[in-house]
Amino acid sequence: MLTQANAAPWFVGWGTLALINAGLAQGKNRNGLLWFLLSLVFGPLATLVIVLLPKVRSRIF
Query: What residue ranges do the domains of the chain occupy?
Result: 11-50
Residues 6+ apart with CB under 8 A from 40: 14, 15, 18
Percent of the chain clearing pLDDT 90 (strictly above) = 70
pLDDT at 50 over 80: yes
Reported as a pLDDT band with limits 50, 70 and 90, residue 11 is confident
Percent of the chain clearing pLDDT 70 (strictly above) = 90
| Average confidence score pLDDT of the chain | 89
What percent helix, strand, coil does the chain show, rounded to 5? Answer: 70, 0, 30
